[in-house]
């Protein structure tokens, strides 16, 4: 084996290992930049339909069921997820819904230590924690 073929073998092994490492890293980007999207929707009879619910939760990087349960509780309104939409069973102003989403971000998205949105919700031993991927802080949060 000559030095050129040995060098190529090392580069191939390195690139293979690098590819595996990239697969195990969790992405920390939030849309183009972190911005809480305003809800868009309409009223249908006595119901409020949030038409961009899937986009809102995608930018927050949270489970749609978790965000929906929080909104149902905070808005005192039952509802359900219908595809990309969230349907609440009472008429609510969008300003009130956006305010509650802002509270959700403060409690379940932003790190209490560094303020960055690069967090994830972990469950351990029946408890939930908000773990920051930027600074490493881990804080217990209440279950919904």
Whole-number pLDDT of residue 28 = 47
State what percent of residues in the chain have pLDDT above 90.
61
Report the C-alpha gap between 100 and 103 in whole angstroms.
5
User: How does residue 6 score in pLDDT terms, banded at 50, 70 and 90?
Assistant: low
35 vs 4, residue with greater confidence: 35
Whole-number pLDDT of residue 47 = 96
- Is residue 139 within a helix (H) or strand (E), and if so which, with residue range? strand 138-141
Would you give the DSSP letter of residue 28?
A: -
Integer CA distances (angstroms), 69 to 78, 94, 100, 113, 137, in order: 9, 17, 12, 25, 25
User: How does residue 137 score in pLDDT terms, banded at 50, 70 and 90?
Assistant: very high
**Is the pTM higher than 0.85?**
no
pLDDT digits (tens, 9 = 90+) for 17-74: 777 777 776 554 444 457 788 999 999 999 999 999 999 999 899 999 999 999 999 9
Domain with CATH 3.30.30.170 in the chain: 29-109
Whole-number pLDDT of residue 53 = 95
**Neighbour-count burial of 127, counting CB atoms closer than 10 A to its CB (0-12 exposed, 13-18 middle, 19+ buried):** exposed
CATH placement of domain 29-109: 3.30.30.170
């Amino acid at each position: 084996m000559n030095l050129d073929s040995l060098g190529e073998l090392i580069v191939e092994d390195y690139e293979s290992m690098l590819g595996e490492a990239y697969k195990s890293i969790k992405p920390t980007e939030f849309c183009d930049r972190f911005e809480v999207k305003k809800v868009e929707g309409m009223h249908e009879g006595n119901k409020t339909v949030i038409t961009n619910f899937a986009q809102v939760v995608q930018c927050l990087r949270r489970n749609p069921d978790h965000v929906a349960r929080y909104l149902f509780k905070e808005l005192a309104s039952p509802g359900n997820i219908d595809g990309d939409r969230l349907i609440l069973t009472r008429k609510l102003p969008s300003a009130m819904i956006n305010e509650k989403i802002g509270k959700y971000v403060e409690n379940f998205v932003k790190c209490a230590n560094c303020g960055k949105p690069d967090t994830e919700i972990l469950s351990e031993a029946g408890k939930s924690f908000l773990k920051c991927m930027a600074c490493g802080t881990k804080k217990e949060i209440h279950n919904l």
